[in-house]
Amino acid sequence: MYLRRTVKVMRRAHERENRKVTPHSRTATGFHGAAFRLRAPLIAALALIVIYSCQSPDPVTKEKGRTLTPDERYLVDYYLKILEFEKYLHDNPGSRDEKRLELEKGFDRERIRRTLAELEKRPERWLAIYNRINELQLRILQNQPTGRY
């Protein structure tokens, strides 16, 4: 009897050593196939989220390229007039007061305040204004017609 048990135990051990391991067979760490089946939907969902986020439009580009409102265009135009005034001061410091009064006559304080208050509510809208100012300054430097708006 002892001999039969020993032979059985040895056969089982030999079978275990020679048994082929398949992806669905149980190993010391668990079921590989089951773990993959549980993780596959999660991996697919993450991949879809990454792909979708890459396809959505960039909000910065969208804001930079938007059309300015009339009040925002007025603000850009007035800012460029101030830059011209500063440039004029360096060239003709004697007529500073005259040029300053001329600049103030075209200044609509209420319109500027209203525009600034609207922009403070949504600061990302400043991107389009900065972008437009930079475009116009580059055109001025290159002596191209600005078309101001």
Domain co-membership, 13 together with 84: no
Report phi then psi at 76, rounded to 5.
-65, -45
Chunked in runs of 10, what are the mean pLDDT values of the chain (149 residues)?
A: 67 68 52 64 80 69 82 91 83 78 84 91 89 89 67
Give the integer Cα–Cα distance in Å for 61 and 51.
Answer: 19
Residue 82 lies in a domain: yes
Neighbours of 75 (CB within 10 A): 20
Q: Which amino acid is located at 80 in the chain?
A: L
Q: Are residues 49 and 14 part of one domain?
A: yes
CA distance 103 to 95: 12
User: Whole domain around residue 51: which residue ranges?
Assistant: 2-55
Kindly state whether residues 71 and 37 are assigned to the same domain. no
Q: Are residues 45 and 64 in the same domain?
A: no
Residues 49, 77: one domain?
A: no
